[in-house]
């Protein structure tokens, strides 16, 4: 079956530091890949997505590239802010499973001023 | 923001009692999902629906049932709550017609505590 493995947290960075959160996946076929962000007390929100190999998703300074050869979709940001503190989830969705998504365990990011 | 409302937002109940959580959407999307979120487990799919009266099980469906009598409402019922069902429950919707490349839109969750 499908699975997503995320870098374990928590991750603590200083403001303006470089961020990488690793994500690798196992899936049959050609899944779409997503990063979601969750702020305290809220549901998950889509951060970015990529639907085919070599696609790069980007939003709010975050980027991730769909690497089929390494089955990875690592999240990066060049300069984090305190407001980026949240839980980040990597997820995949296959095109033959009614849109059901498989999620990683989540990585908690804390950015200190 | 997608129009998804979950109710109640918080609930405390006793072991053995039935509990129903409600998800209401205003987007007219076909697909609706119930997930639970637990530390160390990410989000796990409980049940999903692909249309009115069309539902199917997810990976952690034991002890849960669902119903969808209208497009906009998706109910999750714990027939006899247990302490292992203490969790945060999220409803999600998808605009996808089963293609899988559309993201999920989530409600703000229901925090359920079973004592």
If DSSP codes are grouped into helix, strand and coil, which group holds residue B34? strand
- Determine the pLDDT at residue B46: 97
DSSP string over A61-91: TEEEE-BTTTTB--EEESS--GGG-EEEEEE
pLDDT in tens, B93-104: 987 655 567 889
Res. B1: pLDDT tops 60: no
CA geometry: angle B62, B64, B68, nearest 5 deg: 135
Cross-chain residue pair A103–B42, CB shorter than 8 Å? yes
A8 pLDDT more than 60: yes
Q: In this complex, do B33 and A100 lie within 8 Å of one another by their Cβ atoms?
A: yes
**pLDDT class of B109 with cuts at 50, 70, 90:** very high
Compute the average pLDDT of residues B42-65: 94
- State chain A's mean pLDDT as an integer: 93
Distance separating alpha carbons of residues B19 and A87, to the nearest angstrom: 28
Give yes or no for a contact between A80 and A13, defined as CB atoms under 8 angstroms apart.
yes
* Cis peptide upstream of residue B8 (ω within 30 degrees of 0): yes
Contact B100 A96 (CB under 8 A): yes
Is-contact A102 A2, C-beta < 8 A? yes
Report pLDDT for A94.
77
pLDDT value, residue A28: 82
Q: What DSSP element (H or E) covers A13?
A: strand A11-14
A94 or A21: which leads in pLDDT: A21
3-state secondary structure of A21: strand
Chosen from B4, B34, B42 to mutate, greatest number of chain A CBs within 10 A: B42
CB < 8 Å to A100, chain B: 33, 45, 48, 58
Contact with chain A for residue B94, Cβ under 8 A: yes
List all residues of chain B from 38 to 57 with a beta carbon under 8 Å from chain A.
Answer: 40-45, 48, 50, 56
- Collapsing DSSP to helix, strand or coil, B98 comes out as coil
Q: What are the residues facing A59 on neighbouring strands?
A: A62
pLDDT band (50, 70, 90) for residue B54 = very high
pLDDT digit string (tens) for A14-23? 999 999 999 9
Using one digit for the tens of pLDDT, what is the confidence trace for A74-87? 999 999 999 999 99
SS3 B85: helix
DSSP E strand boundaries for chain B: 4-7, 10-13, 19-25, 31-38, 42-51, 54-57, 64-70, 73-78, 87-94, 104-106, 110-114
Question: Hey, is the C-beta of B9 within 8 angstroms of any chain A C-beta?
Answer: no
Residue with the larger pLDDT of the pair B82 and A28: B82
Average pLDDT in the B30-35 region? 94
CA of B109 vs chain A CAs: smallest distance (Å): 6
Which tokens is B111 given?
Answer: 């925090």
pLDDT over 90 (residue B33)? yes
Chain B residue with the nearest C-alpha to that of A51? B101
pLDDT confidence tier of residue A100, bands split at 50, 70 and 90: confident
d(CA A68, CA B78): 40
What's the pLDDT at B102? 82
Taking CA–CA distances from B51, the nearest residue in chain A reads A98
In angstroms, the CA B9 to CA B56 distance is 25
- Residues B43 and B63: their CA atoms lie apart, in Å, by 17
φ, ψ at A82 (rounded to 5°): -55, -35
The minimum CA-CA distance between B45 and chain A, rounded to whole Å, is 8
């Amino acid at each position: 079956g499908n699975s997503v493995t995320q870098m374990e947290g928590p991750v603590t960075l200083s403001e303006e530091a470089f961020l990488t959160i690793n994500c690798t996946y196992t899936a049959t076929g050609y899944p779409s890949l997503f990063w979601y962000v969750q702020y305290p007390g809220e549901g998950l929100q889509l951060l970015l997505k990529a639907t085919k190999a070599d696609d790069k998703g980007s939003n709010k300074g975050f980027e991730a590239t769909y690497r089929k050869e390494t089955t990875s979709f690592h999240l990066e940001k060049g300069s984090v802010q305190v407001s980026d503190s949240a839980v980040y989830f990597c997820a995949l969705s296959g095109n033959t499973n009614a849109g059901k998504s498989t999620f990683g365990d989540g990585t908690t990011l804390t950015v200190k001023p | 923001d997608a129009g998804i409302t979950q109710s109640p937002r918080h609930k405390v109940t006793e072991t053995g009692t039935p509990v129903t959580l409600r998800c209401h959407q205003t987007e007219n999307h076909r697909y609706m999902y119930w997930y639970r979120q637990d530390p160390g487990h990410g989000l796990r799919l409980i049940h999903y629906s692909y249309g009115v009266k069309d539902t199917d099980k997810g990976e952690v469906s034991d002890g849960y049932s669902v119903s969808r009598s209208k497009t906009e409402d998706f109910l999750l019922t714990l027939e006899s709550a247990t302490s292992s069902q203490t969790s945060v429950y999220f409803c999600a919707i998808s605009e996808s017609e089963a293609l899988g490349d559309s993201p999920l839109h989530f409600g703000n969750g229901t925090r359920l505590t079973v004592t």
